[in-house]
């Protein structure tokens, strides 16, 4: 029997309606500032879509465009200016940044209260510790998607393929908060299929098209596909072989139309929560809280330099044995 296909657009629309209702009575309106360095076509498209979604829900969007060769210091200066601007409540640095830029250092410059992506060391550390904080949009959207689809996470074995700081690691922390037993797989994982076949909840976030075949899926599992690779025909392809996996899974998310809409919807929700963080107007918005992974956080802690590779998807899975 074929799996039930998750309608990510419908679930996302409920969130967007909730955000729009929360924003309606606010003055001034929440403002999301997006920093885009360079002219990567995909990044430009994402920024445009985010701006359009802001307009739909009543959030003000501000774009800061910098040239491809912008120096590290200039990018960090722009972020600091947004930090100190009271008219800006949420800040997003569009990734990836050009190769010469140290992404972690830039992301750590974002004030934790305005860190709409939840990528700063402060918010990442709070998420790891189980302290309420702003959680990354895609992992938060996945948790919401599972719950809205009727999946009981507690006690289930969740396998996450991919260990990026954007999806894999924070999703593992959120699943732990929901009392799942979590296994993270990556490019050095041996016998990947043996592990995935034990998963009640299988999340593919490796960036490798059709990595997950039908024989890797446990009968009746919930399968969430985070992958978005554009094929030779221009169409988006996920990390899961949808046709095959859907014959084994009980629930599966499509690409497109699955996780993607939830990511954008959670960005809008996180923006509203950043606004609440900055203004203390939480009671005015009336927005319904989801899991424990929400807002708060002060800019604190020492900065350190770590490899930008930690922020990239683990797209080498399947190449190493």
Q: What is the CATH number of the domain that holds 50?
A: 3.40.50.10860
Question: Cα–Cα distance between 248 and 262 in angstroms, integer?
Answer: 24
Indicate whether 109 belongs to any domain: yes
**Positions in the chain short of pLDDT 50:** 283-316, 318-321
pLDDT of residue 1: 67
Exactly one of 94, 113, 218, 239 is catalytic; which is it? 94
* Catalytic-residue membership of 117: yes
* Catalytic-residue membership of 94: yes
| CA-CA-CA-CA dihedral for 57, 147, 259, 207, to nearest 10 | 140
Question: Cα–Cα distance between 163 and 309 in angstroms, integer?
Answer: 11
pLDDT of residue 110: 98
Exactly one of 50, 156, 169, 269 is catalytic; which is it? 50
Q: How many domains does the chain have?
A: 2
Whether residue 117 is found in the same domain as residue 146: no
pLDDT of residue 197: 98
Token output for 6 = 């998750």
pLDDT of residue 306: 41
Exactly one of 78, 114, 115, 117 is catalytic; which is it? 117
| H-assigned helices in the chain | 8-24, 41-57, 72-84, 103-109, 121-129, 137-148, 168-177, 192-196, 242-245, 259-279, 282-285
Indicate whether 76 belongs to any domain: yes
pLDDT of residue 299: 35
pLDDT of residue 282: 62
| pTM, 2 dp | 0.89
Whether residue 86 is found in the same domain as residue 232: no
Residues of the domain holding 220:
137-259
pLDDT of residue 112: 97
pLDDT of residue 234: 87
Indicate whether 11 belongs to any domain: no
Indicate whether 9 belongs to any domain: no
Whether residue 188 is found in the same domain as residue 81: no
Whether residue 255 is found in the same domain as residue 266: no
Q: What is the pLDDT of residues 239-267, one digit of tens each?
A: 999 999 999 999 999 999 999 999 999 99
């Amino acid at each position: 029997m074929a799996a039930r296909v998750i309608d990510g657009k419908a679930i996302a629309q409920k969130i967007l309606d909730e955000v729009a209702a929360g924003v309606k009575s606010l003055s001034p309106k929440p403002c999301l500032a997006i920093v885009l360095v360079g002219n990567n076509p995909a990044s430009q498209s994402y920024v445009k879509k985010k701006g359009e979604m802001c307009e739909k829900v009543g959030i003000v969007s501000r774009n800061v465009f910098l040239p491809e060769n912008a120096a590290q210091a200039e990018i960090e200066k722009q972020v600091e200016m947004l930090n100190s601007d009271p008219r800006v409540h949420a800040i997003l640095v569009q990734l990836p940044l050009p190769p010469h830029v140290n992404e972690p250092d830039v992301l750590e410059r974002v004030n934790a209260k305005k860190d709409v992506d939840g990528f700063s060391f402060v918010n990442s550390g709070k998420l790891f510790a189980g302290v309420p904080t702003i959680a990354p949009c895609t992992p938060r959207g996945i948790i919401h998607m599972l719950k809205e689809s009727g999946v009981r996470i507690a006690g289930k074995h969740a396998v996450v393929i991919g260990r990026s700081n954007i999806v894999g690691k924070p999703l593992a922390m959120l699943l732990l908060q929901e009392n799942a037993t979590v296994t993270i797989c990556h490019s050095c994982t041996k016998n990947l299929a043996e592990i995935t076949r034990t998963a009640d909840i299988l999340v593919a976030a490796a960036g490798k098209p059709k990595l997950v075949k039908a024989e890797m899926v446990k009968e009746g599992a919930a399968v969430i596909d985070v992958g978005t690779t554009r094929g030779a025909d221009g169409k988006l392809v996920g990390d899961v072989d949808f046709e095959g996996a859907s014959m084994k899974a009980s629930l599966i998310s499509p690409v497109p139309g699955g996780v993607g809409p939830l990511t954008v919807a959670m960005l809008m929700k996180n923006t509203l929560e950043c606004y609440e963080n900055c203004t203390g107007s939480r009671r005015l918005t009336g927005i319904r809280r989801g899991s424990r992974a929400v807002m708060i956080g002060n800019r604190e802690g020492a900065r350190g330099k770590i490899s930008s590779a930690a922020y990239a998807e683990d797209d080498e899975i399947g190449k190493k044995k």
